[in-house]
Structure 1
Amino acid sequence: MNDWKMHQWDLSPYSVTPAASLLSRCVSVGAASQEEIDSAFSDPNPVFSLHLHETEEQIRKQKQLDEVQLQLELLKLEEQSADVTHGFHLSEFHFLQLCD
Structure 2
Amino acid sequence: MKKELLHLRALIDDVDRQLLALLARRYEIVEKVAAHKVENGLPARIPGRIKTVIQRREAAAQRLGLPRRAAAHIWETIVEETCRYEERLMDNLLKDNRL
TM tier, shorter chain?
0.3 to 0.5
Higher relative contact order (CA 8 A, sep 6+): 2
Larger Rg: 1
